[in-house]
A and B are shown apart, each in its own frame.
Chain A
Amino acid sequence: SQQGEEDPQALSIQEGENATMNCSYKTSINNLQWYRQNSGRGLVHLILIRSNEREKHSGRLRVTLDTSKKSSSLLITASRAADTASYFCATGISNFGNEKLTFGTGTRLTIIP
């Protein structure tokens, strides 16, 4: 079963507005990562936040992590049409000495020009 559940499943906003996506997970993690996927293509890594971190920024992206609630959020500020994509959270979990990612269900973001 999927480790992460994302909310909302779909989000449509006007260009310039902020977009917030949430991710919940079930077990202990090493880290939580966010990825973007455009039109069924490959995924692009956006940001990684370690389990001992609470907040991280990268450009217009802000990610928070609350390990007590097993949840994370991704905020995209001042959205642009090019941000239209599907966004996935993925949890990094120890697996026989290595680390594997388990992906959430994804949020489909549409930015309306």
Chain B
Amino acid sequence: SAVISQKPSRDICQRGTSLTIQCQVDSQVTMMFWYRQQPGQSLTLIATANQGSEATYESGFVIDKFPISRPNLTFSTLTVSNMSPEDSSIYLCSVAITGGWNQPQHFGDGTRLSIL
């Protein structure tokens, strides 16, 4: 498995501001994913981030709102831009250690974000 560290663990932000969430993995991984979990809800995939290529966004999520960087095989960032109260959620990073199919994902502890 892999150890995944997310920073910050939680934050309270003013509407209209932006926050960048960091995800650091203790080993090189092929695929990294960003999810959103709204209060009391399940996880929704925001985007898949592969090193050396643009992130692939899911329907309903756009790069202007959720820009993602993946500069190397152990690190990624997700920015939540121009935040509104509707963005209050837990944001989770996960990794699949090897590419291909039939792989479990390993999750960080998430970033709990509240927008005032």
List residues of A whose CB falls within 8 A of some B CB.
2, 30-31, 33, 35, 40-45, 48, 50, 88, 90, 92, 94-96, 98-106
Closest-by-CB residue of A relative to B104 is A45
Residues of the B chain whose Cβ atoms lie less than 8 Å from the Cβ of A104? 42
Whether B102 pairs with A48 at a CB distance below 8 angstroms is: yes
Give chain B's interface secondary structure class.
Answer: strand
Whether B110 pairs with A88 at a CB distance below 8 angstroms is: no
**Bound: A46/B44 CA distance, A:** 19
Interchain residue pairs A-B with the least CB separation, the first 10: A42-B107, A45-B104, A42-B109, A43-B107, A103-B43, A99-B101, A103-B42, A30-B101, A31-B102, A41-B109
Give chain A's interface secondary structure class.
Answer: strand
Residues of the A chain whose Cβ atoms lie less than 8 Å from the Cβ of B90? 40
List residues of B whose CB falls within 8 A of some A CB.
4, 31, 33, 37, 42-45, 48, 50, 56, 90, 92, 94, 96, 99-110, 112
Whether B102 pairs with A30 at a CB distance below 8 angstroms is: yes
Whether B107 pairs with A101 at a CB distance below 8 angstroms is: no
Whether A100 pairs with B42 at a CB distance below 8 angstroms is: no
Whether A42 pairs with B92 at a CB distance below 8 angstroms is: yes
Residues of the B chain whose Cβ atoms lie less than 8 Å from the Cβ of A33? 104-105
Residues of the B chain whose Cβ atoms lie less than 8 Å from the Cβ of A40? 37, 90, 110, 112
Given the known inter-chain contacts A30-B102, A48-B102, please indicate yes or no for A100 contacting B110, CB distance below 8 A: no
Whether B92 pairs with A100 at a CB distance below 8 angstroms is: no
Would you mind naming 19 contact pairs between A and B with Cβ atoms under 8 Å apart? A30-B101, A35-B107, A40-B37, A40-B112, A42-B92, A42-B107, A42-B109, A42-B110, A43-B92, A45-B104, A48-B102, A48-B103, A88-B43, A95-B48, A96-B56, A100-B45, A100-B48, A101-B33, A105-B42
